[in-house]
């Protein structure tokens, strides 16, 4: 019997929804998985160290890991109307961030690349200090005034008003307005050393797991809510609705264009290494 594939993904509702059927052995002829939960800033580091067979990572980390890992054409998170937000205590404009301190969840995240690309175009003279904080600490830090602004992702789109904060800018809106492409957020990658047959089998199993979750969403609900970190069930459903979509089932032409567009623009700004010509090709 082949060994289980070691996989790490986040406890966020979109990931548990996508992987529920596969993680629980309900996908026929699929590779067995040994699951570890870790937030995406941790899985990005795991990928750079080559620690797992399969990982959910930020698209922003791909330029550092694609020699060892292949990008799967499914299972990830892209979308429209779901980008990161820049939050402040008071309403303002992009110019107000000039020289200011901004908290971000990671400097190896798609959210950070989108923010830097936006700031390069919109903030005269650029922002000031960048402070990396755990995701759950960013909104409290903005509210307390220990940072001037915060870059937030995921369910914070639905909850930031509970902290009395204002949305200064929507990074996804800026990306979509300037490119017309979906927002590339999280990717599924797997070690190339697994071999072409295993990689193809894994990709097919991930896609089937997505389709099974759509066919009967209630089956995955206990798994989703078990790991949703006390998230309100309605917010969990909104989260899934935003981040699990046609691009999760298959990246497609627009999905690949979005990924390459983000990483090419980021490389031009010196934020990431340039991509190789065939770096995104799947086996």
* Residue 102 marked in a binding site: no
Q: Could you tell me the two tokens for 61?
A: 């980390």
Taking residue 53's Cβ as centre, other Cβ atoms within 10 Å add up to 22
Mean pLDDT of 216-241: 90
The answer to the question of whether 110 is labelled as a binding residue is yes
Looking up tokens 């590339």, which residue turns up?
A: 184
Q: How far apart are CA 235 and CA 91, in angstroms?
A: 25
Q: What is the mean pLDDT of the chain?
A: 94
**Binning pLDDT at 50, 70 and 90, where does residue 87 land?**
very high
Tell me whether residue 93 is annotated as binding: no
pLDDT at residue 217 is higher than 80: yes
Averaged pLDDT, 224-246:
88
Average pLDDT of 105-132?
92
Phi, psi of 134 (to 5 degrees): -55, 145
Q: Which of 154, 174, 227, 239 is catalytic?
A: 154
Cα–Cα dist 103/87, whole Å: 10
What local confidence, expressed as pLDDT, does residue 277 receive?
85
Query: Active-site residue 154, yes or no?
Result: yes
What digits encode the pLDDT tens for the residues 119-146?
999 999 999 999 999 888 999 999 999 9
Q: Report percent pLDDT > 70 for the chain.
A: 99
pLDDT tens digits for range 17-48: 999 999 999 999 999 999 999 988 899 999 99
User: What count of Cα atoms within 13 Å lies in the side-chain half-sphere of residue 25?
Assistant: 3
Q: Do β-strands 102-104 and 149-152 pair in parallel, antiparallel, or remain unpaired?
A: parallel
């Amino acid at each position: 019997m082949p060994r289980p594939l070691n996989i790490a993904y986040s406890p966020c509702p979109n990931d548990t929804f996508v992987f529920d059927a596969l993680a629980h052995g309900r996908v026929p002829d699929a590779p067995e998985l040994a699951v570890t939960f870790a937030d995406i800033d941790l899985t990005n580091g795991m990928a750079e160290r080559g620690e797992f067979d399969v990982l959910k990572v930020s698209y922003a980390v791909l330029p550092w890991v694609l020699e060892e890992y292949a990008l799967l054409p499914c299972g990830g998170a892209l979308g429209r109307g779901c980008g990161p937000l820049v939050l402040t205590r008071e309403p303002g404009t992009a110019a107000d961030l000039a020289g200011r301190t901004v908290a971000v969840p990671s400097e190896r995240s798609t959210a950070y690349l989108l923010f830097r690309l936006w700031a390069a175009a919109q903030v005269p003279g650029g922002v000031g200090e960048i402070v990396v904080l755990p995701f759950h600490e960013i909104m409290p830090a903005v509210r307390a005034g220990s940072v001037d602004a915060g870059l937030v992702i995921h369910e914070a789109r639905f909850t930031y008003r509970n902290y009395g904060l204002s949305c200064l800018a929507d990074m996804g809106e800026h990306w979509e307005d300037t490119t017309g492409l979906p927002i590339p957020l999280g990717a599924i990658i797997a070690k190339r050393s697994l071999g072409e047959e295993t990689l193809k089998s894994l990709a097919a199993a991930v896609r089937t797991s997505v389709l099974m979750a759509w066919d009967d969403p209630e089956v995955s609900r206990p798994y989703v809510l078990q790991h949703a970190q006390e998230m309100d069930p309605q917010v969990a459903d909104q989260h899934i609705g935003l981040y699990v979509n046609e691009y999760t089932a298959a990246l497609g032409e627009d999905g690949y264009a979005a990924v390459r567009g983000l990483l090419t623009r980021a490389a031009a700004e010196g934020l990431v290494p340039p991509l190789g010509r065939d770096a995104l090709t799947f086996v």
